Amino acid sequence: MSFKAFFQWARNDLIESRTFQALGERAQFQAQYKQDSNEMEITNSKGNVGHLRKMHLERIFERYFALPHAQRHKAKYYEDPEWAETPNRVFAPAVPAIIRYWIER
């Protein structure tokens, strides 16, 4: 599993908005890769929209594979205080859910 492969998939396959299950599987969110701004756009279940750049996606991807398997699918490990350097405390937990989908597809 490489970030390069994940990023290529996201750029090519998420050109239209797709619905994903959140890590806790109690909510859903939308994600789309915006070619024009070169960012992933995430819309959470409350309708809030966030944008994550390639460097943010890569940091979250690295975090995902650095965590023990039992912690990878828990949102708290991608936000404060578990990860003080999180690129985005609201939208970062969406990326591991997308990674999970990508791996399981």
Q: What is the pLDDT of residues 29-55, one digit of tens each?
A: 999 999 999 999 999 999 999 999 999
pLDDT tens by residue, 64-98: 999 999 999 999 999 999 999 999 999 999 999 99
pLDDT reported for residue 20: 97
Question: Measured between alpha carbons, how far is 87 from 56 in angstroms, rounded to an integer?
Answer: 6
- What residue numbers bound the domain in which 69 lies? 3-104
- Report the candidate in 40, 39, 95 with the shortest Cα–Cα distance to residue 67: 95
pLDDT reported for residue 1: 83
105 pLDDT more than 90 = no
Q: What is the domain count for the chain? A: 1
| pTM (2 d.p.) | 0.95
**SS3 at position 45:** coil
**SS3 at position 70:** helix
Handedness of CA 17, 55, 72, 48 (dihedral sign): negative
